[in-house]
Amino acid sequence: MNRRDFIRMAALSTAGGPLVVPVHRVEDVRAKCTPPELQRFWWGIWPEAVREFGRCGIELQTNDVRGEIKRSAGDRPIFVGAEFGVVNLVLTDHIPMYWDGGRGLAGATTLWEGYHLCVIAISNAHGNQLPFVSTNTCVHELLHALMQDIFVRDPSWFRTGEGEFRIDAYATRMWLFHDGAAVRQSARAYLKRLRYRSTATTS
């Protein structure tokens, strides 16, 4: 741990410790990922995401379940294993066609039938590659939730170049400068809304 990291962690400790984000990982049992793809994700992409959030004072508190993505008669995705009141990180081999439209997306984040979903296509996911342009897929999609894009009624706006650049800019600051002050501030507000919507949905 260098001097900058030590000072930052000391400040977080004084402020009450890291911000805890509940992440409910759902493994799609129908996903057909290759062993190299799975190894790349579990030994590279995901640990990198955990480190970046951790350095910025955000703890990803995870639990794991097995589920699947089914399709309704209208081809709308049905997420078996998802829960209310948490960030559902759904791990599969491809984004449902309902959202992907054949673009080969690495991830998609949305509020779907009350569930907060970050869907990750392991086969297309990647770690940090190029600042401001290609950042860690898990960090990128989780930021769409924590920065509250997920509450936008029409999510197509943040899938534009400008919206994606905005999230990659936050991800780059976390990656290169370990700066997550703006993310923590937004994440606090996000968690309040997450808990409120969970109570309203289950009551």
Domain boundaries, the chain: 19-202
pLDDT at residue 68 is higher than 60: yes
Distance CA 151, CA 148 (A): 6
What residues contact 97, with CB distance under 8 A and at least 6 apart?
75
Question: Are 156 and 163 in contact, with CB atoms under 8 Å apart?
Answer: no
196 DSSP assignment: H
- With a cut of 80, say whether residue 16 has pLDDT above it: no
Cα 11 to chain centroid distance, Å, stands at: 25
pLDDT band for position 198 (cuts 50, 70, 90): low
At the topology level of CATH, where does 19-202 sit? Answer: Collagenase (Catalytic Domain) (3.40.390)
Residue 7 confidence (pLDDT) above 60: no
Cβ-contact 121, 33 below 8 angstroms = no
The residue written with tokens 């000072």 in the block is: 7
Other beta carbons within 10 angstroms of residue 87's beta carbon come to 26
- Whole-model pTM: value is 0.87
The predicted structure's pLDDT at residue 53: 98
pLDDT value, residue 154: 64
Q: Give the confidence band of 39 by pLDDT, cuts at 50, 70, 90.
A: very high
